[in-house]
Chain A
Amino acid sequence: MDSKNIEALLNKYWNCETTLEEEQQLRDFFRNGNVPEQWKETAAMFRYFEENKKKSLNDVAFDHHIVARMQPATKGKTARLFYNTMRIAAGVTVLLTATWFIRREVRKDIPQEVVDTYDDPKLAFEETKKALMMISKGFGTAESQAKKINMFNEAQEEIQRKKDTKL
């Protein structure tokens, strides 16, 4: 690039009218040593910008350090998830065990369904009849007992009636 062009670009630069590409052209131009005397200081400025861009974080362990500081958050997250899952699992286990024990106790108290069934319908009928007879006998006894109570009622009614006629 000739010095005329550079001069024009520089003027644009000082007036903040250069694009990023044009600024890069200026940096490229001033990077090499053959800079006219009048631009020595300007060249130093562009070099200064370039050299500053090379400055880096001089710490090899930096990334490692950052990642190490990031880990606890993720670890905590998984740990929390694991902890919560375990809590739920423990609750479910307690419930299941309790249910199992209660079921066992209940089964022990109440005998399971009657196992005997009759294959022969006639025999079954006889058995049913027997059972019904037993109930009806029970009813009969209850009835005769109830009749006794009835006697009291009748007597009470009798007394009431007599009281009424007297009055």
Chain B
Amino acid sequence: MNIESFQNRVLPAKNKLFRFALRFLGNEEEAKDVVQEVFIRVWNGREQMNEVQNWEAWCMRITKNLSLDRIRTLSRKQTHPLEDGYDIRQESLSPHESTEIQESMNRIGQYIAALPEKQRQVMHLRDVEGYSYNEICEILELDMNQVKVNLFRARQAVREKLMKINAYGL
């Protein structure tokens, strides 16, 4: 693989890797650092790339491992990613509605951030990135059963919180 094909094939995955790293680290600068490190590693190990079936999942796995390393060296476990608001302006929504939705989204961000790490990872890969179960297994190095259990628990936990809001308006 030469630099050009690396730029065309591998580098475009940067945003996915960035979001995944951000999910772990909760800090954009740290996440960016990790993604850089991932690309350098992938570049240095590019001979192996032909043997890797799904190189994107491979990159995601490296991102996961490096992010966990980073968390360990930082010796602080950041469980809540910074939610810097969402721009959801839409013609069909009144300003009041969009503020309301924005608040709800921030709350959901907090619920997800409060989930145990594995559940958070699985939920991110499935619901945000839209990976198949097989790919999630490959990325997280878990078996199918573990992936499904973690996703189930994550969704149930979020659902419970949502039901409480609906019931008590909290």
Question: What residues make up the interface of A, taking CB atoms closer than 8 Å to B?
Answer: 13-16, 20, 23-24, 32-34, 38, 40-45, 47-49, 51-53, 55-59, 62-63, 65-67, 69-71, 73-74
| Inter-chain contact B6/A70, CB cutoff 8 Å | yes
| Inter-chain contact B40/A66, CB cutoff 8 Å | yes
Judged by DSSP, the binding face of A is helix
A60: shortest Cβ distance to chain B, in Å?
Answer: 12
Between A15, A34, A51, A74, the greatest number of chain B beta carbons within 10 A of the residue's beta carbon is seen for A51
Cα–Cα, bound, A14→B152 (Å): 7
| Inter-chain contact B127/A69, CB cutoff 8 Å | no
B56: shortest Cβ distance to chain A, in Å?
Answer: 15
Instruction: Give per-residue flags for B1-44: 1 if the beta carbon is below 8 A from chain A beta carbons, else 0.
Output: 00100110001001100110010000010001001100110011
Which residues of chain A are within 8 angstroms of B158 by Cβ–Cβ distance?
Answer: 45
A47 touching B105 in the complex, CB below 8 Å, given contacts A15-B152, A57-B35: yes
A1: shortest Cβ distance to chain B, in Å?
Answer: 17
The one of A44, A59, A62 that contacts B101, using a Cβ cutoff of 8 Å: A44
A53 closest partner in B (C-beta): B128
| Inter-chain contact A66/B104, CB cutoff 8 Å | no
Which residues of chain B are within 8 angstroms of A42 by Cβ–Cβ distance?
Answer: 162
B89-107 with Cβ < 8 A to chain A? 90, 92-93, 97, 100-101, 104-105, 107
| Inter-chain contact A63/B7, CB cutoff 8 Å | yes
25 contacts between A and B (CB under 8 A): A14-B159, A16-B155, A20-B130, A20-B132, A24-B130, A32-B92, A33-B93, A41-B104, A43-B101, A44-B104, A44-B105, A47-B101, A47-B105, A48-B86, A52-B128, A53-B130, A55-B19, A56-B15, A57-B18, A59-B32, A62-B32, A63-B14, A70-B3, A71-B3, A73-B43
| Inter-chain contact A14/B156, CB cutoff 8 Å | yes
A57 touching B105 in the complex, CB below 8 Å, given contacts A45-B158, A70-B40: no
Instruction: Let me know if B57 is at the binding interface, CB within 8 A.
Output: no
Cα–Cα, bound, A71→B43 (Å): 10
B156: shortest Cβ distance to chain A, in Å?
Answer: 7
B109 closest partner in A (C-beta): A48
Cα–Cα, bound, A113→B19 (Å): 86
Between A32, A45, A51, the greatest number of chain B beta carbons within 10 A of the residue's beta carbon is seen for A45
Instruction: Give per-residue flags for B145-167: 1 if the beta carbon is below 8 A from chain A beta carbons, else 0.
Output: 00010011001101100100110
Which residues of chain A are within 8 angstroms of B90 by Cβ–Cβ distance?
Answer: 33
| Inter-chain contact A66/B36, CB cutoff 8 Å | yes
A14: shortest Cβ distance to chain B, in Å?
Answer: 5
A53 touching B6 in the complex, CB below 8 Å, given contacts A33-B90, A33-B92, A69-B40: no
Instruction: Let me know if B88 is at the binding interface, CB within 8 A.
Output: yes
The one of A41, A57, A63, A71 that contacts B166, using a Cβ cutoff of 8 Å: A41
Cα–Cα, bound, A91→B103 (Å): 75
